[in-house]
Amino acid sequence: MKVQEVMNPKVLCIKEDETISQAVERMVKNRYHQLPVVNEKIEGMIFLKDIIKVKSDLTKTGVKNIVRSVPYLEKNQDVEKAIKILIESGVRALPVVENEKIVGILSEVDILEKYFEEKSIRVKDVMNKPIVLEENSSLRKAIRIMEKNNISSLPIINWEEKLVGCINIFSFAELIAKERSRIQSFKSAKEKIDFFDNPVKNFIFQPKTCEKETPISEIKDLFRKYEEIVVVENERPIGIVKPRDILSVWRTVELTELVCIGAKKEEVESVLGRSLEKWKRMGIEKVVLMIEQIGVRKKFEGKMKVVGKNINLMVSAVEYDKIFLIRNLKEMLERKIVEERNKSMTLRRRVEKP
């Protein structure tokens, strides 16, 4: 598939001579983290996370002062190559350029909506441990935490550590979109405190939530509307998922080598699912599956062997159905792997015991 099949041809741009305040209003209204900057040709891009760090008057500061150079994509480029460039660039979207003119934009969300087809990846496989903030903390503290950790969202919790809402970069952008001098000079009539000393609970919104076992295929289309999805367990935030997390895992997964004899590799992979990735992390380098038909009643005899550092195991079984046989071999092998790991840990404890 080519970039032009996935990209968005309708591009919202800003001119080099416009002000940052105009850019912020446009970005907040359309929920965009970035805007291409154009003159006669494309000059680069501006980003919301750079704007909130600007100290000067946004109504008088030009966009040209914060333009960043970024890689450009081509419309006839393979999507796989474009994904790699996008991930390595560290930004959420890149312009598609032809003859120095912008003809489209390709974002992480576009890729998830139109190209992502992986059904075995679950939320728990991609989520990051969230940095959270207590609801009575100040806006100033929230900004400081987000800048320090280079994040754009903060789940907000109460004294029971339960999720009460979320605050993100758009929350601050909406404030910054107002006249900066008015915000900075704002004082509470009673408390006489700076505006950014107000508690975050006054500015939170209710985020979209899911559980850790939710398939990514069920939430991937929600990112057009939601900046983040918070993973909850017993009403407490245990993870956070963004498009970048999904793409990074999806396109950097290392799998254990699979050798199949007597079965199609595709049907074996569909049964093994995420096990090949899990086994790779456990140090298993190769899985060998051998299946042969035996007897007049068309039984299938199978053997599955795993080989890796400090591990060499094999299981065997006989079944009438080939798929059931593969599934049975997988379950038998996983039980045996767990048994071997437990034995190894027990032995290690005995050796280490004084």
Interval 185-238: pLDDT, tens: 444 444 445 777 889 999 899 999 999 999 998 999 899 888 899 999 999 999
- DSSP run (H or E) holding 175: helix 169-176
Fold: same for 3-106 and 123-250: yes
Helices (H), 76-118: 79-89, 108-114
3-106 is a CATH 3.40.720.10 domain: no
CB atoms < 10 A from the CB of 281, how many?
A: 10
CB atoms < 10 A from the CB of 29, how many?
A: 11
User: Residue 139 and residue 197: Cα distance in Å, rounded?
Assistant: 6
Q: Which residues of the chain have pLDDT under 50?
A: 179, 181-192, 348-354
Q: What is the pLDDT of residues 254-277, one digit of tens each?
A: 556 788 888 888 888 878 876 777
- In the chain, the largest separation of any two C-alpha atoms, in whole Å, equals 91
| pLDDT at residue number 37 | 92
Beta-strand ranges (E) seen in 2-142 are 14-15, 34-38, 42-47, 93-98, 101-107, 133-134
Q: Per CATH, which fold does 257-352 belong to? A: Double Stranded RNA Binding Domain (3.30.160)
Q: What is the pLDDT of residues 28-40, one digit of tens each?
A: 888 888 999 998 8
- Asked whether the beta carbons of 146 and 152 are under 8 A apart, the reply is yes
User: Residue 99 and residue 305: Cα distance in Å, rounded?
Assistant: 54
Q: For residue 14, what are its two tokens? A: 């800003």
Residues in the chain: 354
Specify the residue for token string 């209003």: 25
Instruction: Give the type of residue at 225.
Output: K
Q: Which CB contacts under 8 angstroms, 24+ apart, belong to 78-85? A: 78/1, 78/2, 78/3, 79/1, 79/2, 79/3, 79/5, 79/6, 79/111, 79/115, 80/251, 82/3, 82/106, 83/111, 83/247, 83/251, 84/251
- Asked whether the beta carbons of 274 and 255 are under 8 A apart, the reply is no
| pLDDT at residue number 113 | 87
* Residue ranges covered by each domain of the chain: 3-106, 123-250, 257-352
Q: For residue 55, what are its two tokens? A: 């100290």
| pLDDT at residue number 181 | 43
| pLDDT at residue number 158 | 95
- DSSP run (H or E) holding 312: strand 311-319
| pLDDT at residue number 255 | 58
Query: 123-250, which class in CATH?
Result: alpha beta
| pLDDT at residue number 156 | 96
